[in-house]
Amino acid sequence: MQSTKTNYEMKQYNFQTVFKIIQRYSSISRRELQNLSSLSWGSISSITADMVSNGLIIEKSHKLGYSGRTPKLLTINNQKNRILGIDINVSAITFALCDLGGLVLQSERVRPQELHKSYILSLIDEYIAKYFATYDEIIMIAFSVQGQIDRTENISVSIDKIDGWENVPLRSLFAEKYGRPVYIFHDPDCLLIYTLAKMRNFTDVNNCVALRLSADGIGFSALIDGNIYKGAGDTGIEIEHTTLVPNGQKCKCGRSGCFYAYCTLEGLSRQYKSGTYDEFLSLVRASETDETSLRIFKNYAYYLAVAVQNLIMLFNPEYLFLNGEMTEYKKLFEKEFYLKLNNNYHSRVFFNSFDTEHPAVGAALLAVSRNLNELLFHD
């Protein structure tokens, strides 16, 4: 009995290994799969035949520049098993319809006219209904959400700036209406998973951390021994109000010296008396040579480097990824950041280009990962 269970678990592991490689490479030959997975040719042939048979992947011909046998490439079947990823952010709500490999079939970004719970939920429902009316084969809905979440109950506990947004039961609200599983994930976790799934340079990474650097917030995620760290109560980690500068600048939370106060544009706007927040953003974006703007980002680079060094010393990760909207401005502070960062850490720290659909795609990929065995072995 034990032997049968062990063999089945090994089969699951081998199927997952092959599928994740196809996810990462989009199109790949069986021979390349064998080389990357270290599985036998017989195992590769059997596993891929099963996946083709149940519609998870398809074969397509790849013409070479010379005469000879045309190899068959394997790719995710994007006509089946689609996931609707949704990123809820106070600046915009992003919808991304994806296949099992995270290929975006359609996406759109909607700026809410009001920041109130009932309006936001109504807006989300309107767009979900539109996607379900337009596309077949949507099998899951996956949310990427700012702020604190309850992963066990799939509840969004709170999102700053959205009035009335407390303990919102996203799963029960939309699963019942649309008859599909609904999942909720922390937005920096989604960005981390997106990075690891799509960046071929970062294969076999088991320990890394990531920051989502937004204009109005800082998200944190850690992958420890191959698993996303969830913390006590399965609610994740909130890092933006940890103390960066003792007795430092006043933060919106009422305390002083928070990471938030020094490394978000909203926090910085409180230090530089530049009128409204929108006026401050205009100042920052105005010119790369503007003296005030350069001073702002020089200070930003220093404090970000301090925070990053603290995280590297604490977690000793293989890599630390910097994602999010603030990477839009990295040409204004990246050089200064690396000057302030300990030289020993340079090779571990990466700025990733950011697209607003990335967290939504990451949510979809996390939902696939959670249901991978069911997808691979369903009858």
Query: What's the pLDDT tens digit per position in 29-48?
Result: 999 999 998 899 999 999 99
For range 350-375, the mean pLDDT: 88
Phi-psi region of 48 (alpha: psi -120 to 50; beta: other; left: phi over 0): alpha
Question: Tokens standing for 281?
Answer: 């953003």
pLDDT tens, residue by residue, 185-200: 999 999 999 988 877 6
Q: What per-residue confidence (pLDDT) applies to 69?
A: 63
Give CA 313 to chain center in angstroms. Answer: 23
Range with the lowest mean pLDDT among 22-26, 77-81, 266-270, 327-331?
A: 266-270
- The DSSP letter of residue 47 is H
Domains and their CATH numbers in the chain? 2-76 (1.10.10.10), 82-190+358-377 (3.30.420.40), 204-351 (3.30.420.40)
Work out the pLDDT band at 352, boundaries 50, 70, 90: confident
H or E element in which residue 303 lies: helix 291-315
Question: Tokens standing for 306?
Answer: 């301090």
To the nearest 10°, the Cα dihedral for 263, 268, 270, 275? -150
Q: What percentage of residues in the chain have a pLDDT greater than 90?
A: 50
Instruction: Give pTM, 2 decimals.
Output: 0.87
Q: Does residue 314 sit in helix, strand or coil?
A: helix
Q: Quote the CA–CA distance of 281 and 291 in Å, as a whole number.
A: 15
